[in-house]
Amino acid sequence: MIFHILVPDNVHQEAIDILQTNADIRVSAPGKLERAALLEAVVDADAMIIRSGVTADAELINSAPQLKAIARAGVGVDNVDLAAATAQGVVVMNTPGGNTISTAEHSIGLMLALSRHIPQGHQSLAEGRWERKAFTGVELKGKTLGIIGLGRIGQAIAARAQVFEMNVIAHDPYLPPEVAAAMNAPLLALNEVYASSDYLSLHALVTDETRGMINAESIGRMKRGIRIINAARGALINAADLAAALQSGQVAGAALDVYEQEPPPADHPLIGLPNVVHTPHLAASTSDAQVTVAVEAAQLVIDFLLHGKAENVCNPAENSS
Ligand code: MLT
């Protein structure tokens, strides 16, 4: 039997090469497809490899009667309808470790860019001005960084922030406190992290509990002049509330890589504010990370289709195959 693997997203060529060398696999890698073409292409697919650009919702999954596996070259599976996949017996797998360092480095880059007005200074000089006073910044040294979600990425950020001589505190209801203590990043209640942090970096999944957790009420509990960095998911932030806090000075600045809707609409309240630095979901976009996650995703699909081995399964535990 020849398995058809559809790769309808910009997944690194190295993964396609690995799949193509396997005699039991037929690959089609058309890159990003319009919705109608995607629904057509998936009809005879046995597996799909995707990044965040493909929404694998119930309609797509139900259009693929042969589909057995979806591999996400990346961490977040919020673009996959896990309930629909599970109901159709489709295993969903991700590659959780492959872009940790890239994402951590981008978060630190955002923190520095925000603190030193690097994008604004660049733009000003490119436009022919020589402005120095307007771009006076702040040092990271001695400041407190609060990390919400001390998983792989949060931990990599903690280690890097400590090299900058920042004090690191964290909130993570799932991590044993002794693991955090050993990293010199003590776990505190959310309110304590809000009240003590000069910088807040978000690394949580979007759940019913965390959706919109950065809002007028929680911002009101933060230290005045806090700077907020989000390279996790846009839906963690209530954008209108953060924009109001940036305008009032309660929040001194924000650095954002992710948006609830991507690309964000032209009238997004945070895009273009003078104290906001933003990038278009680039945290994992390094050649290093993209090779790693793509090759891992290809291997996951090969192992599942040809050897019946499922790793990094994201389907809900009680229903997963
Ligand atoms: C991830 O979830 O892996 C990152 O946000 C990167 C991506 O979406 O490709």
Q: Is 108 found in the same domain as 173? A: yes
- State the Cα–Cα distance between residues 133 and 164, nearest whole angstrom: 24
Q: Is 186 found in the same domain as 105? A: yes
Q: Which atom of ligand 1 is nearest to the CA of 74?
A: 3
296 noted as active-site residue: no
Distance of CA 105 from the midpoint of ligand 1 (Å): 14
321 confidence band (pLDDT: 50, 70, 90): very low
281 noted as active-site residue: yes
Per the structure, the complete domain to which residue 205 belongs is given by 100-278
Rounded to an integer, the average pLDDT of 105-131 is: 98
- pLDDT tens digit sequence for 39-98: 999 999 999 999 998 999 999 999 999 999 999 999 999 999 999 999 999 999 999 999
Q: Is 108 found in the same domain as 57? A: no
Contacts of 284 (CB under 8 A, 6+ apart): 74, 75, 99, 102, 103, 106, 290, 293
Q: Is 237 found in the same domain as 111? A: yes
Residue 98 CB less than 6 A away from ligand 1:
no
pLDDT of residue 318: 59
Q: Is 109 found in the same domain as 92? A: no
Q: Is 218 found in the same domain as 109? A: yes
Nearest in space to 154 (alpha carbons), one of 115, 96, 211, 67: 96
Domains identified in the chain, total number: 2
- Dig out the tokens for 317 from the structure: 């535990």
Q: Which atom of ligand 1 is nearest to the CA of 233?
A: 5
Residue 52 CB less than 6 A away from ligand 1:
yes
Q: Which atom of ligand 1 is nearest to the CA of 78?
A: 2
12 noted as active-site residue: no
Q: Is 157 found in the same domain as 72? A: no
pLDDT of residue 262: 93
Q: Is 191 found in the same domain as 180? A: yes
Report the CATH number that the domain containing residue 111 is assigned in CATH: 3.40.50.720
- pLDDT tens digit sequence for 7-41: 999 999 999 999 999 999 999 999 999 999 999 99
Q: Pick the catalytic residue: 106, 203, 233, 268?
A: 233
- pLDDT tens digit sequence for 263-305: 999 999 999 999 999 999 999 999 999 999 999 999 999 999 9
- pLDDT tens digit sequence for 195-248: 999 999 999 999 999 999 999 999 999 999 999 999 999 999 999 999 999 999
Q: Is 131 found in the same domain as 11? A: no
Q: Is 204 found in the same domain as 162? A: yes
Residue 50 CB less than 6 A away from ligand 1:
no
Q: Is 251 found in the same domain as 204? A: yes
Q: Is 272 found in the same domain as 246? A: yes
pLDDT of residue 317: 80
Contacts of 163 (CB under 8 A, 6+ apart): none
Distance of CA 129 from the midpoint of ligand 1 (Å): 37
Q: Pick the catalytic residue: 14, 40, 131, 262?
A: 262
